[in-house]
Amino acid sequence: MKHLLKMLDLTSGEITEILNLADQLKYEQKHGIEHKVLAGKTLGMIFEKASTRTRVSFEVGMYQLGGLPLFLSANDLQIGRGEPVQDTARVLSRYLDGIMIRTFKQSEVDALAQNGTIPVINGLTDFAHPCQVLADLMTIREYKGSLEGLKLCFIGDGNNMMNSLIVGGLKMKMEVAVACPQDYRPSPIVRDFAAVHPAFSMTTDPMEAAKGADVVITDVWASMGEEDEIEKRRKAFQGYQVNDEVLAQAKPDAMVLHCLPAHRGEEITAEVFEKHAKEIFDEAENRLHAQKAVLVKLLGNQS
């Protein structure tokens, strides 16, 4: 494991190793046990998209691991003024021990990894959100004890979250059911991956997808960068809301997760959100622990 670019790149064993390490680091942090395993290491954090959870969790995570987080706004880099990402990768590799980038195109993350000499972590692209899904899997395992055999249901946009949950869930031997409008299906690359897995199903009916689910997950109807499509998307996603009627199809003890920010009254009702707030904010906290595990795996063994 040299980088974390997308869930498709990870093996089931690597996902398990990250989750186990995340559990250990969370235990140590909760019990005041220091783990400064990245002392002297610097992580550059490139943000072309704004963020609450990604910036704070990576910054705090590097501090807790003894390393230095360096915030790099795209407006402050030459990459924001047209420098090829290949050149940025080669320059930053001379200064840093790792790069986390939150941006629009998956190709930018891939180019950084191909042209640099240090680990690259995908903090979010339009195609993938592996850090969030590792935190989701960690949270589900905390609540349910294991992942294998559980049914994961995602209702909403076939975006980076749906792409990554399909791959992550199937690699961890979960049953994965997704419901989305016909015009908002997940990436063809992910559909090809899922096509060979009998445990995968895709429908336009949220009630069908939620039947017997152990965990129901959703995301906003219009993500960052899609603001000009808000009204169009509100019409397209009517009926794709996680509410009491949909949850009645799931198991009585089903969890509800949301990567946040949540738009109450759109993709999830206020009542369902508050009823499952503990799970959702445990999920948000686990971004910190899951990403620390990724940082240790990628940066911890460098000379």
Is residue 180 part of the annotated active site? The answer reads: no
Contact present, 96 and 72 (Cβ < 8 Å): no
Is residue 263 part of the annotated active site? The answer reads: no
Which one of 102, 233, 258, 289 is the catalytic residue? 102
Which one of 180, 259, 289, 291 is the catalytic residue? 259
Which one of 141, 258, 287, 289 is the catalytic residue? 287
Task: Report angle CA 170, 173, 177 to the nearest 5 degrees.
Answer: 50
Which one of 97, 110, 131, 132 is the catalytic residue? 132
Is residue 287 part of the annotated active site? The answer reads: yes
Which one of 219, 233, 258, 291 is the catalytic residue? 219
Is residue 219 part of the annotated active site? The answer reads: yes
Which one of 3, 53, 129, 258 is the catalytic residue? 129
CA distance 175 to 152: 6
Is residue 153 part of the annotated active site? The answer reads: no
For residue 96, give the amino acid letter.
Answer: L
**Tokens for 218?**
């959703």
Query: Which among 102, 15, 96 has a CA at the least distance from the CA of 54?
Result: 102
**Tokens for 287?**
């971004």
Reply yes or no: is the peptide bond before residue 252 cis, omega within 30 of 0. Answer: no
Is residue 94 part of the annotated active site? The answer reads: no
Strands 215-218 vs 255-258: parallel, antiparallel or unpaired = parallel
Q: Which residues are catalytic?
A: 102, 129, 132, 219, 259, 287
